[in-house]
């Protein structure tokens, strides 16, 4: 420690003033503080963390970063973490299981105090996450959740959100409502599909498998499906899309075919992405409380961090969605 030598003090004395301990004479204290400031002295967190086995770092792993969904969630998470004195470290898995596993190792190597994760759409094996449990490092899932692990989770009520959206379409007089669903391996896709079906059922509208298309969220494929739907003998008069990018893409395609939205066909999305309010026609969609998701997840995580491993709780917080009605319906 430079400043100890400079002032002819013991390292422990310097350490004491820097950590705010009492029992240091005002004189030496002032001297240390002054020199520290002069030298732009910053404690070495590596050493502190190594010593204390606590880094105050929280890892966040998300599948992607290009839609506005995850950035928004992260903003909420980062803010909540900061308030609690934690740093956040993120990485994106690019929807690749391999990358997710690799990112996971990096987090481990960097000794994060806990991680927040939203799974890849590929992820089926959870060994890389169970390591955290074994090592006593808490995990919290959000959005893309793992059902076979008993840990805290933050999700939204996808079933209800979808139900409300479809019910609204029905009440607006739509008769043939198609659903562009996501991969059924994703919990959210399944729940949204269920909500869709339940709404139809409630109003005695038969479920037509022809109108339900599940796809892998590869946005370029939306074109194929929408054109297919519009070419049906009895085409839909509404499309409920599993998410906003899908809905936005569908709108572009429908417009290109010269159909009028919403007169001839209505479109509803899910998530209320940034662009949804700006496109023409603006998109009716199911809004999720994005930064609240991030904040809640961080809160659950920090609770776990502060709990003894044996007292870990596996609560699942289900946040509410809100139907935002715009011009596309």
Partner DNA sequence: CTGTTAGCGCGTTCAG
Partner DNA sequence: CTGAACGCGCTAACAG
Residue 15 binds which of a second copy, DNA, none (CB < 5-8 A, kind-dependent): DNA
**Least distance from C-beta 270 to DNA, angstroms?**
44
Task: Kindly state the tokens that stand for 193.
Answer: 């599909």
Burial code of 64-75, b = ≥16 C-beta within 10 A, e = fewer? beebbbbebbbe
Strand partners, 266: 238
Contact status, residue 254 vs residue 230, Cβ threshold 8 Å: yes
Q: Of 18 and 253, which CB lies nearer to DNA in the complex structure?
A: 18
Q: Of 16 and 191, which CB lies nearer to DNA in the complex structure?
A: 16
Binding to a second copy by residue 108, rule CB under 8 A? yes
Within 298-327, the residues that bind a second copy by CB under 8 A are none
Binding to a second copy by residue 220, rule CB under 8 A? no
Q: How far apart are CA 198 and CA 55, in angstroms?
A: 47
Q: Of 93 and 214, which CB lies nearer to a second copy in the complex structure?
A: 93
Binding to a second copy by residue 47, rule CB under 8 A? yes
State how far the alpha carbon of 156 is from the alpha carbons of 3, 90, 183, 191, 280, in Å: 52, 22, 18, 10, 27
Instruction: Provide the terminal-to-terminal Cα distance of the chain, rounded to the nearest Å.
Output: 67
Contact status, residue 150 vs residue 314, Cβ threshold 8 Å: yes
Contact status, residue 73 vs residue 291, Cβ threshold 8 Å: yes
**Least distance from C-beta 314 to DNA, angstroms?**
27
**Least distance from C-beta 13 to DNA, angstroms?**
4
Other Cβ atoms less than 10 A from the Cβ of 60: the count is 29
Q: How far apart are CA 226 and CA 324, in angstroms?
A: 23
Q: How far apart are CA 67 and CA 69, in angstroms?
A: 5
Residues that bind DNA (CB under 7 A): 1, 8-13, 15-16, 18-19, 22-29, 43-44, 47-48, 50-53
Residue 110 binds which of DNA, a second copy, none (CB < 5-8 A, kind-dependent): a second copy
**Least distance from C-beta 57 to a second copy, angstroms?**
8
Binding string, 264-283, against a second copy, x = CB under 8 A?
----------xx--xxxx--
Q: How far apart are CA 117 and CA 102, in angstroms?
A: 13
Residue 232 binds which of a second copy, DNA, none (CB < 5-8 A, kind-dependent): none
Binding to a second copy by residue 11, rule CB under 8 A? no
Residue 274 binds which of a second copy, DNA, none (CB < 5-8 A, kind-dependent): a second copy
Strands 139-142 and 153-156: parallel
**Least distance from C-beta 109 to a second copy, angstroms?**
4
Residues in contact with a second copy by CB under 8 A are: 40, 42-47, 49-50, 55, 65-66, 68, 71-72, 74-75, 78, 87-92, 105-106, 108-111, 131, 134-135, 248, 252, 274-275, 278-281
């Amino acid at each position: 420690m430079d400043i100890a030598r400079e002032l002819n003090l013991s390292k422990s004395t310097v350490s004491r003033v820097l950590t705010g301990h009492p029992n240091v004479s005002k004189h030496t204290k002032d001297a240390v503080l002054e020199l520290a400031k002069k030298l732009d002295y910053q404690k070495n967190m590596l050493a502190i963390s190594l010593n204390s086995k606590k880094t105050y770092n929280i890892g966040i792993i998300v599948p992607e970063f290009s839609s506005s969904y995850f950035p928004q969630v992260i903003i909420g998470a980062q803010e909540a973490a900061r308030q609690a004195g934690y740093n956040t470290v993120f990485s994106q898995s690019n929807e690749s299981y391999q990358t997710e596993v690799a990112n996971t190792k990096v987090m481990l190597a960097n000794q994060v105090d806990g991680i927040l994760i939203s799974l890849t759409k590929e992820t089926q094996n959870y060994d890389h996450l169970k390591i955290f449990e074994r090592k006593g490092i808490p995990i919290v899932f959000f959005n893309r959740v793992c059902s076979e692990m008993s840990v805290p989770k933050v999700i939204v009520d996808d079933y209800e959100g979808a139900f409300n959206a479809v019910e609204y379409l029905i009440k607006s007089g739509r008769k043939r409502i198609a659903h562009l669903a996501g991969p059924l391996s994703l919990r959210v896709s399944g729940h949204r599909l269920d909500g869709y079906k339940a709404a139809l059922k409630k109003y005695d509208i038969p479920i037509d498998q022809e109108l339900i298309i599940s796809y892998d969220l590869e946005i370029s494929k939306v074109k194929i499906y929408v054109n297919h739907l519009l070419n049906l003998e009895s085409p839909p008069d509404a499309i409920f899309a599993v998410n906003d990018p899908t809905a936005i893409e569908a709108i572009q395609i429908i417009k290109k075919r010269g159909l009028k939205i919403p007169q001839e066909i209505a479109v509803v999305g899910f998530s209320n992405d940034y662009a949804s309010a700006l496109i023409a026609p603006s998109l009716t969609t199911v809004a999720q409380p994005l930064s609240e998701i991030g904040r809640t997840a961080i809160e659950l995580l920090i609770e776990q961090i502060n709990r003894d491993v044996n007292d870990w709780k596996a609560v699942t917080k289900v946040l509410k969605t809100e139907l935002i009605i715009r011009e596309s319906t």
